Amino acid sequence: MNCEQARLLVSEYVDGEVAASTAASFERHLRGCSRCESLVKGTRNVARLASDPRAFSLPDGFSERLKDRIASSFAADGRIGVRLGIGKAVASRGDHIAYFWENERDFEIGVGFLEAGVRSGDAAFVFGHGKANARVLDVLRTHGHDCEALIRAKRLFVLDGSPAGQTMLANIGAAFQAAMEAGAGTLRLLGNLGWGKAGWPSDNGILDFEARVTEAAQQFPCVIVCMYDVHAVSGRVLLKGGFETHPFILHKLQVCENHHHVPTNRFLADLEHMEATERIQ
Amino acid sequence: MSRSAAKPQRDAAPPSASQRHEVELIQRILKGEKELFFDLISPYQRSVYFAAYSVLNHEADAEEVAQEAFLKALANLRHFRAESKFSTWLVQIAINEARMRRRKDRKGLYESIDEPRQDDEGDYIPRDFSDWREIPSEALERKEVRDALAHALASLKPIYREVFVLRDVQDLSIAETAALLGIEESSVKTRLLRARLQMRDALAPGLGGAWSMTADPRKEKRFSS
């Protein structure tokens, strides 16, 4: 056996995996070759040191941080939560959340919800009117995300509104399905609805859509955050849309249960009644 | 003594008391006692962290991925099947998460090493010393020795570091290492040889005195092949 042949056996020899006859020949070589003997000693030494728990230890404070992270990952209902990327807010999959914003900074904080998803491998959905969608994408780009590459990789989806609520629900469902087929675990949708905008349903039509989204969200591993621009929408839209159709509200960087929420069936029945009354008047 | 020879016996052995305790903990967590989750995973913090580190070679990223892996394990605990080892299941999640992070976050940087080229597994010519000055286990009490090991580990290419961490740091068998990394056992052996030789070479400069505490700078030459 020469040095080159011996060298290839060093590691297996150290592990005791070389057949007896080969081992004997290997050992004969070692007795006459201090360089190969040094390889065996060094390799054995390295393997022994590496398996000693003192050799490679956890970073300082690792356990404490892990404990905190686990504790803060339970959502209000005790289920394993999705960290929203907005403060320490945590939601459950299936949650439909309203987020009220009034300035540039609030808007950027809201987009943090999608950013956290992009970073952790979730699929992100930008759903809304043209101007708002462009603004969301601008924030993502400003924060260094390559939106076009994310879109190509089916990790970022940009969805526009439609005059019919049912079409919007179908479009979102199809996009969710495509993302899941591309391997997404959690789906995050950030909505900026086109209240009063051309190409969108009437206010009542959007209210109807919002109420149905609460039910639809339960069918997917998704979290849906709807952004309400408090300076741009009417008081009625804030009350009916923001408060009555969302079971949760993101307030002061926390997800809170919303006691103003009206269950979908009742909300839709009320809405129908209201529309009928409006028609009579 | 052969480490690998002992492993199949260990794998085939009936569940140990600690494994039975683990199964019981899992059942209680699934029934709602979520606060027990940290107790369940506590013994595996090091395995999961270093599995992630072996892929990413970055402490903060590895810690984040390790946390994500534990949370994923919690979310999917009901899918864990008791016939596999809980530790292996956790390490597999960590490796998958870390690889996903590497692909997504550092595509440009890591693209070329994500898929190893064949020549990466070729022969390695180790540095030539006439003898090896043993680094005793007690030396691990010294920070400079631990730092040298960490530095040596960081200097390995990912394909070698992954195998070295699973096989030598975590003491997994060749078969377990191969299964976790999704490679052939023969590749584990080839990569392990190279990883160990490179670790040896990276640690050797300290042998002149730093580790052994004897000032004896050695001459160095290369094997001629």
Closest CA relative to residue A158, chosen from A186, A132, A139, A182: A132
A114 within 8 A of A140, measured Cβ to Cβ: yes
DSSP-derived 3-state class of residue B49: helix
Whether pLDDT at B225 is above 60: no
Measured distance CA(A223)–CA(A133) in Å, rounded? 18
> Residues 197-226, chain A: which have Cβ within 8 Å of B?
none
Best to test chain B binding among A5, A15, A145 (most B CBs inside 10 Å): A15
Cβ contact (<8 Å) for B45 and A11?
A: no
Phi first, then psi, for residue B85 (nearest 5°) are: -80, 135
**pLDDT tens track for A112-134:** 999 999 987 789 999 999 999 99
DSSP-derived 3-state class of residue A254: strand
A193 within 8 A of A206, measured Cβ to Cβ: yes
pLDDT, residue B120, reads 52
Q: What is the pTM of this model?
A: 0.63
Measured distance CA(A83)–CA(B207) in Å, rounded? 48
ipTM for the complex shown: 0.80
Distance from CA of B152 to the nearest CA of A (A): 11
Task: Read off the pLDDT band of B45 (50, 70, 90).
Answer: very high
Closest CA relative to residue B175, chosen from B53, B5, B16: B5
**pLDDT tens track for A45-58:** 999 999 998 999 99
pLDDT, residue A82, reads 84
pLDDT, residue B105, reads 67
DSSP-derived 3-state class of residue A192: strand
The answer, for A152 touching chain B at a CB cutoff of 8 Å, is no
- The helix or strand, by DSSP H or E, that contains position A183, with its residue range, turns out to be none
pLDDT, residue A176, reads 95
Cβ contact (<8 Å) for A45 and B134?
A: yes
Best to test chain A binding among B107, B196, B197 (most A CBs inside 10 Å): B196
Q: B38-52: string of b/e by CB count within 10 Å (b at 16+)?
A: bebbeebbbbbbbbb
Measured distance CA(A88)–CA(A75) in Å, rounded? 11
B120 or B175, higher pLDDT: B175
Residues A24-32: what's their mean pLDDT?
91
> Residues 37-96, chain A: which have Cβ within 8 Å of B?
37-39, 41-43, 45-59, 62-63, 65-67, 69-70, 73-74, 78, 80
Cβ contact (<8 Å) for A7 and B223?
A: yes
CB pairs under 8 A between A and B: 146
> Phi/psi zone of residue A196: left (φ > 0), alpha (ψ -120 to 50 degrees), beta?
left
pLDDT, residue A237, reads 97
Q: pLDDT exceeding 70 applies to what percent of chain A?
A: 98
Of B71, B126, B169, the CB nearest to A39: B126
**pLDDT tens track for A141-151:** 999 999 999 99
Which of A120-129, B11-20, B78-87, B182-191 bottoms out in mean pLDDT, i.e. has the lowest?
B11-20
Cβ contact (<8 Å) for A51 and B225?
A: no
**pLDDT tens track for B128-187:** 666 777 888 888 898 888 999 999 999 999 999 999 999 999 999 999 999 999 999 999
Distance from CA of A177 to the nearest CA of B (A): 21
pLDDT, residue A147, reads 96
pLDDT, residue B222, reads 42
Whether pLDDT at A62 is above 90: yes
A180 within 8 A of A187, measured Cβ to Cβ: yes
pLDDT, residue B1, reads 37
Residues A183-190: what's their mean pLDDT?
89
Cβ contact (<8 Å) for A58 and B169?
A: no
Whether pLDDT at A23 is above 60: yes
Looking at residue B151, its amino acid is: H
Closest CA relative to residue A239, chosen from A273, A281, A267, A202: A267
Kindly list the distances between the CA atom of residue A192 and the CA atoms of A31, A98, A189, A197, B153, in Å, as whole numbers in the listed order: 77, 11, 10, 11, 48
The answer, for A35 touching chain B at a CB cutoff of 8 Å, is yes
The answer, for A114 touching chain B at a CB cutoff of 8 Å, is no
- Strand boundaries in chain B, DSSP class E: 127-128, 221-222
Q: How far is CA A31 from the centre of its chain?
A: 60
**pLDDT tens track for A204-263:** 999 999 999 999 998 898 999 999 999 999 999 999 999 999 999 999 888 888 999 999
Measured distance CA(A167)–CA(A124) in Å, rounded? 20
Structure tokens given for A221:
């591993």
Sign of the CA dihedral running B120, B125, B131, B133 = negative
Which residue is associated with the tokens 């540095």? B127
